[in-house]
Amino acid sequence: MILAVLLAGIVNAADVHVVHTGDTLESIAAELGLPEWSSEIALLNNLDRSAPLLPGTVLLLPPHPDSLEQAAEVLSAVGAVYLMPASGPRVPVATATRLAAGSTICTGPGAYATLRLARSRVGFDHDDVVLLEGTCLTLVSASARPEGRTSLLDVASGTVAVERGGVRPGTVAVRTGSGLTAGDAGGFRVSIEPDAARTEAWAAPVSVFGAGQEVRLDAGTGSRTRRGETPEDPVRLPPATALVSPGDGEALLRPDFVWQPVDTALGYRVELSTDRFFTQIKAIEEVPDPAWRPDLLFLPYRVREYWWRVSAFDRVGFVGTPSDPRRLSLPAGIGP
């Protein structure tokens, strides 16, 4: 019943809080710097104050006097990226499109998009979420307040990667049909599988919730959560590889990419971006061997600089820590 109330009202909420193990109404209010809020939080969420809070519950918070409710901004869109309105045909999305709370954005085959969430007054504090191909995501809530920023995303399909953007990353919670993942420093992915959600904490710790239980993942570990079950025990992710060629800063005379093999790898994911933080992804390719030599590689020629990195994935589907990125330049004379 509580979840039904939350889902009905959450789109109009300025801020939310994900309950962690040991949280109480009093501790949450104190963390927000407004201890008198404990009664208001209970009333807003129809909570019995005598009952313990269930880890992974998403609570609505009263409006903070200094809170900034914000829309997300589409930082990058490549290929078929579109909005799915409640009724009517889908709407194409371009870079710089603003998304209000409740908006659903999807990426088609071979398409990628990046959302910038909850920018603070400082301007350098933000959270960047990359949607890989075949992803549908609903922006439930995004807000900034003096104590930090919180965003809640509902992901129905595909993969989202929360990159480590901004000076002070905020809390990003990714909710799926199987559970919820919340991290305070970016550096994690959530992927929808046929019967589970897979979380990979490749650069920073995160919490994974399912069936009222919380499992903490350290950087370099992952876990699966199946509907109605507690998250599985953490497993080690494939380690980062080392890039071999092209060398850092070299001109991309021909598309020959080589890296060191990883013992546990079933294959590798190669990413190309126009920024070193990989919020402007232009191409992703999965290959079985520690080399990628495409016959053709289509890249926007007006961009003079690219970055590339590689992640290994294992035989049970976990994608590991990305390599350190390398910079590439396009040779002079490319383009009209």
DSSP strand pairing (81-83 vs 91-92): antiparallel
In eight-state DSSP terms, residue 185 is S
With a cut of 80, say whether residue 125 has pLDDT above it. Answer: no
Nearest to 235 by CA among 222, 225, 216: 222
Q: How far apart are CA 278 and CA 273, in angstroms?
A: 5
Q: What is the percent of the chain with per-residue pLDDT over 70, rounded to a whole number?
A: 88
Amino acid at 309: R
Q: How far apart are CA 179 and CA 58, in angstroms?
A: 11
Most confident by average pLDDT, 7-11, 65-69, 260-264? 260-264
Q: What is the dihedral of CA 132, 135, 141, 147, to 10 degrees?
A: -20
- How confident is the model over 76-95, as a mean pLDDT? 92
The set of residues, in sequence order, having a beta carbon less than 8 Å from that of 264 and lying 6+ positions away, is: 238, 239, 312, 314
Q: Coil, strand or helix: which one is 253?
A: coil
Amino acid at 300: P
Amino acid at 174: V
Contact 309, 275 (CB under 8 A): no
The pLDDT of residue 12 is: 42
Length of the chain as a residue count: 336
Render pLDDT for 241-254 as a digit per residue (tens, 0 to 9).
999 999 999 988 88
CA 119 to centroid of chain Cα atoms: 16
CA 26 to centroid of chain Cα atoms: 29
Q: What is the DSSP string of 320-334?
A: -PPPPPEEEEPPTT-
Q: What is the DSSP string of 57-69?
A: PEEE-PPPTT-EE
Contact 268, 287 (CB under 8 A): yes
The pLDDT of residue 238 is: 97
Amino acid at 124: F
Q: How far apart are CA 258 and CA 159, in angstroms?
A: 25
Residue ranges and CATH numbers for the domains of the chain are 2-60 (3.10.350.10), 68-236 (2.60.120.1440), 243-329 (2.60.40.10)
Give the pair of three-digit tokens for residue 36: 């008198």
Amino acid at 13: A
Answer yes or no: pTM beyond 0.85.
Answer: yes
Contact 194, 177 (CB under 8 A): no
When pLDDT is cut at 50, 70 and 90, the band that residue 8 belongs to is very low
Count of beta carbons in the 10 Å neighbourhood of residue 256: 12
With a cut of 90, say whether residue 43 has pLDDT above it. Answer: yes
Of residues 273 and 121, more confidently modeled? 273
